[in-house]
């Protein structure tokens, strides 16, 4: 495996030498030759086939398994031409955590990836982004493009690049960053195994055995390169297209991580370990906060086989939003009757082999594949004894009603679209997604009425992993209102309890009425807010020191009001504060109590102790990365990071993976140079006081406000230091910068005129 930069440099020097030699042979065309030579070398310098990361040198696997395609016949996917999709003539807005990829005036010829790709349709989506089918602009070749956050996609691309060219890995991954999103383009695949099962409706025993052997083989290939997937499930295996339609591929390495060092030694075990993966398919040990290992990927393969065999998992009826996973652990360990999970002995023996493995053990993949290599007579015997139930579209993100749709004008299939500018037929239906990772949605006629017909839907103004926030108006008087929509049985009922406890508290968003359930989703009307603090900070030209101190004092007061009710927010960040609208446009309001907690019960402070991580990775306190219970001091420390963002000095935004807790802890304690986080003494004292508080110590909020109230002369002195700016800025005319930020302000709109409400669920950054 070679470093691409080295290869490019060698190729450049070699070709340049040949061109120079050629020009020397042609003395009569020296002028032309020199010009052509210069242009050619310049183009070669810009040519980079792959210029992102180095390939990871790894030792060969210790227990290789021969790839015998005859011995591991793959299941053959069915062909279908009736799959629903977004038509290219429909305007579509793809949002990934607040970043809008497609602009309003790009209908119908949407292009992205620096105009290399033309949008065809959305083919998959999840809590972290979407996957689109595209065509290469110059060749018309079909590709797939995954769109998500920059932090997540950079890590995933490194994994894809380390596995490049291996069997079962999508080929030719290329990385782009565009309009605040990251894109990975790669080989377009066919159906994933989840959709394959649902469209085929009923599998055979032989197909499940074949699929199981293929999955184990692909997992072995990944493990041989020091990587564990950490999110094995049926939907993360897909078939190829064309000549590869009978080949299985493993996809979605968004949660993958290394389990070995470069020298082949195992990474040190660290427990308790923050949970990562899909709750339904992760191993039993993961629920017990065990450090992920190859054995856990293999146990997830076993659970995937169980779903293929049974049509559902024994724990599907449990509450996936319940933080107590003890029932999941019990059911995954042995079922309800203690007789095991599988009715077929071969799969039960496979699960037993996997669970005997210790953290540092190397699995015997060959023995596992041989265990599932059974003769035809045994397959016939099992087929007589066991019948695989028919699929009922249990997990599909596609509504059953859409399965036969062929005319794109019949209805409009939306993914967080701005409906105010959509062209929809009068008799068509609209599907408004409320939780992309579950496929829950509201089916309504063209004029959407929410909240039992009391609120008319206008547009989506914020999205998150668990749901959306819509802007609407009351049917009775036309006044504006926000409606938060989530899957029924999720966090919204618990969040409403906190809003009820904080009713009429200054600085807390107000709610209207009760929680209402419609079509498997829950709706909660609330006060419509204006620009959130994240956008406000982005729109600042330079650093306005008085404004920073003023915002800081307001945030301290808001948190004091919340803490006075025995509640901590646990997810303090700029996007969870917003300005009011109209007469309240100068007020700062806090919202999104989905991760909130009580620090006092019956007037007694809760005890300190270990706790699963909760919060947003860039904004949580340093102590939160030690997986400890949070208190009032942690909310205040997160608030100090908001003030730090005014100076654009947060240096840890690139660390968002679940295994970055130690690095984040070091960064947040004092920066990489140990000199502290703030250049301003008052703000450094503010943070120092917060970190001096004991777990159950009540902060002195008046003292905190005093830290943020320097004299007018002192603020002028600080302002003059920041107005100097770096030396290179003196050579730049400020007028283009002012025009650029004025354009941004016009785009966001004034707080009283436009709702720029960004609902951002914390589980995007934590599991």
Q: Which CATH number is 116's domain given? A: 3.30.200.20
Same domain, 630 and 537: yes
Using only the alpha carbons of the chain, give its radius of gyration: 28
Distance (Å, whole) CA 194 – CA 525: 35
pLDDT-derived band at 115, boundaries 50, 70, 90: low
3-state secondary structure of 430: strand
Specify if 52 maps to a domain: no
385, two tokens? 């004894």
pLDDT-derived band at 570, boundaries 50, 70, 90: very high
Of 85-89, 300-304, 684-688, which range is least confident? Answer: 85-89
Same domain, 242 and 327: yes
Same domain, 460 and 553: no
Same domain, 607 and 734: yes
Specify if 183 maps to a domain: yes
pLDDT-derived band at 66, boundaries 50, 70, 90: very low
- Of 118-127, 299-308, 453-462, 578-587, where does the model show the most confidence? 299-308
Residue 291 vs residue 18, higher pLDDT: 291
- Please compute the mean of the pLDDT values over residues 742-767 and round it to a whole number: 36
Where does residue 161 rank: exposed (0-12), middle (13-18), buried (19+ CB within 10 A)?
A: buried
Strand duo 430-435 + 412-413: pairing: parallel
Where is 441: in which H helix or E strand?
strand 440-444
pLDDT per residue as tens digits for the range 370-427: 999 999 899 989 988 887 876 543 333 333 333 332 222 222 222 223 333 333 333 3
User: Residue 135: beta bridge partners?
Assistant: 118, 142
Q: Looking at residue 359, which CATH number applies to its domain?
A: 1.10.510.10
3-state secondary structure of 11: helix
Same domain, 620 and 509: no
Specify if 507 maps to a domain: yes
**CB distance 234 to 244 below 8 Å:** no
Same domain, 688 and 565: yes
pLDDT-derived band at 94, boundaries 50, 70, 90: very low
Specify if 380 maps to a domain: no
pLDDT per residue as tens digits for the range 311-334: 888 888 888 878 788 888 888 887
Specify if 650 maps to a domain: yes
Average pLDDT score over the chain? 73
The DSSP line for 491-513 is SHHHHHHHHHHTTT-TTB--B-S
Residues 6 or more apart whose Cβ sits within 8 Å of residue 243? none
What domain range is 154 assigned to? 95-187
Same domain, 614 and 691: yes
pLDDT per residue as tens digits for the range 706-730: 999 999 999 999 888 776 543 433 3
Residues 6 or more apart whose Cβ sits within 8 Å of residue 330? none
Distance (Å, whole) CA 509 – CA 710: 30
Distance (Å, whole) CA 667 – CA 657: 15
Distance (Å, whole) CA 687 – CA 341: 52
Specify if 346 maps to a domain: yes
The pLDDT score that the predictor gives to residue 186 is 87
pLDDT per residue as tens digits for the range 204-231: 899 999 999 999 999 999 999 999 999 9
Query: ∠68-69-75 over CA atoms, to 5°?
Result: 140
pLDDT-derived band at 588, boundaries 50, 70, 90: very high
Specify if 65 maps to a domain: no
Distance (Å, whole) CA 75 – CA 192: 12
pLDDT over 50 (residue 65): no
Of 15-24, 583-592, 723-732, which range is least confident? Answer: 723-732
Specify if 252 maps to a domain: yes
Same domain, 321 and 453: no
Number of domains in the chain: 5
664-696 burial, b for 16+ CB within 10 Å, e for fewer? bbbbbeeeeeeeebbebebbbebbebbeebebe
Of the three residues 351, 370, 389, the one that is the final residue of a domain is 370
Of the three residues 187, 220, 246, the one that is the final residue of a domain is 187
Query: Around 622, how many Cα atoms within 13 Å sit in the side-chain half-sphere?
Result: 15
Of the three residues 329, 348, 370, the one that is the final residue of a domain is 370
pLDDT over 60 (residue 188): yes
Among 281, 260, 278, 279, which Cα is nearest to 269's? Answer: 260
Residue 740: Cβ within 10 Å count: 10
Same domain, 153 and 269: no
Same domain, 644 and 702: yes
Residues 6 or more apart whose Cβ sits within 8 Å of residue 160? 169, 170, 173, 184, 186, 253
What residues act catalytically?
Answer: 231
Same domain, 615 and 672: yes
Same domain, 244 and 162: no
């Amino acid at each position: 495996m070679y470093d691409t930069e080295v290869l490019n440099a060698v190729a450049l020097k070699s070709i340049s030498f040949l061109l120079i030699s050629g020009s020397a042979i042609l003395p009569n065309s020296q002028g032309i030759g020199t010009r052509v030579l210069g242009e050619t070398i310049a183009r070669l310098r810009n040519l980079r086939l792959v210029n992102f990361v180095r390939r990871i040198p790894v030792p060969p696997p210790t227990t290789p398994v021969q790839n015998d395609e005859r011995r591991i016949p793959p299941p053959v996917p069915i062909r279908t031409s009736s799959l629903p999709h977004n038509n290219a003539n429909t305007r579509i807005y793809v949002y990934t955590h607040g970043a809008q990829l497609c602009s309003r005036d790009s209908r119908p010829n949407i292009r992205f990836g620096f105009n290399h790709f033309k949008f065809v349709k959305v083919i998959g989506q999840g809590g972290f982004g979407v996957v689109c089918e595209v065509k290469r602009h110059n060749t018309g070749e079909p590709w797939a493009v995954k769109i998500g956050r920059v932090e997540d996609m950079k890590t995933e691309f490194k994994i894809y690049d380390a596995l490049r060219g291996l069997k079962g890995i999508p080929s030719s991954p290329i990385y782009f960053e565009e309009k605040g999103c990251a894109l990975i383009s790669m080989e377009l695949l066919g159906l994933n195994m989840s959709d394959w099962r649902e469209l085929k409706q009923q599998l055979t025993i032989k197909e499940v055995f074949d699929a199981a052997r293929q999955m184990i083989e692909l997992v072995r290939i990944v493990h041989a390169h020091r990587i564990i997937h950490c999110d094995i499930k049926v939907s993360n295996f897909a078939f190829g297209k064309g000549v590869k339609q009978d080949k299985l591929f493993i996809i979605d390495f968004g949660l993958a991580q290394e389990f070995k060092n470069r020298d082949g030694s195992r990474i040190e075990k660290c427990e308790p370990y923050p949970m990562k993966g899909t709750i339904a398919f992760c191993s039993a040990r993961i629920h017990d906060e065990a450090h992920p290992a190859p054995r856990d990927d293999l146990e997830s393969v076993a659970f995937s086989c169980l779903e293929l065999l049974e049509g559902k998992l024994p724990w599907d009826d449990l509450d996936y939003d319940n933080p107590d996973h003890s029932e999941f652990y019990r059911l995954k360990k042995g079922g309800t009757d203690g007789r095991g999970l599988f009715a077929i002995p071969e799969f039960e023996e496979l699960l037993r082999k996997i669970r005997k493995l210790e953290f540092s053990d190397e699995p015997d993949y060959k023995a596992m594949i041989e265990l599932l290599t059974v003769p035809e007579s045994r397959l016939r015997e099992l087929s007589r004894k066991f019948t695989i139930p028919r699929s009922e579209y249990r997990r599909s993100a596609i509504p059953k009603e859409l399965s036969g749709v062929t005319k794109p004008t019949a209805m409009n299939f939306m993914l967080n679209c701005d409906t105010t500018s959509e062209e929809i037929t009068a008799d068509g239906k609209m599907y408004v997604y409320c939780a992309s990772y579950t496929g829950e949605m509201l089916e309504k006629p063209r004029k959407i009425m929410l909240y039992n017909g009391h609120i008319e839907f206008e547009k989506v103004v914020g999205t998150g992993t668990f749901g959306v926030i819509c802007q609407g108006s009351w049917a009775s008087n036309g006044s504006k209102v926000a409606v938060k929509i989530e899957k029924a049985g999720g966090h919204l009922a618990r969040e409403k309890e906190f809003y009820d406890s904080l009713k009429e508290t200054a600085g807390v968003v107000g709610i209207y009425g009760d929680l209402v359930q419609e079509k498997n989703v829950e709706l909660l009307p609330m006060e419509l807010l204006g620009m959130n603090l994240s956008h406000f900070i982005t729109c600042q030209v330079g650093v306005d020191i008085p404004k920073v101190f003023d915002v800081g004092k307001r945030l301290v007061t808001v948190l004091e009001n919340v803490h006075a009710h025995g509640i901590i927010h646990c997810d303090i960040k700029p996007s969870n504060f917003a300005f009011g609208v109209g007469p309240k446009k100068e007020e700062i309001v806090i919202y999104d109590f989905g991760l909130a907690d009580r620090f006092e019960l019956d007037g007694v402070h809760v005890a300190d102790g270990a706790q699963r991580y909760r919060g947003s990775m860039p904004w949580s306190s340093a102590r939160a990365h030690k997986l400890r219970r949070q208190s009032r001091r942690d909310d205040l420390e997160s608030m100090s990071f908001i003030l730090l963002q005014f100076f654009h000095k947060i240096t840890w935004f690139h660390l968002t993976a679940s295994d970055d807790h130690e690095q984040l802890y070091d960064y947040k304690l004092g920066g990489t140079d140990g000199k502290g986080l703030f250049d301003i003494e008052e703000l450094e004292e503010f943070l120092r006081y917060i970190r001096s508080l004991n777990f159950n110590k009540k902060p002195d909020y008046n003292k905190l406000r005093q830290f943020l109230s320097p004299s007018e002369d002192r603020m002028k002195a600080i302002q003059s230091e920041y107005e100097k700016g770096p030396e290179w800025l003196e050579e730049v005319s400020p007028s283009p910068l002012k025009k650029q930020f004025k354009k941004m302000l016009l785009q966001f709109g004034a707080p009283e005129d436009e709702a720029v409400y960004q609902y951002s669920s914390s589980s995007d950054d934590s599991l």
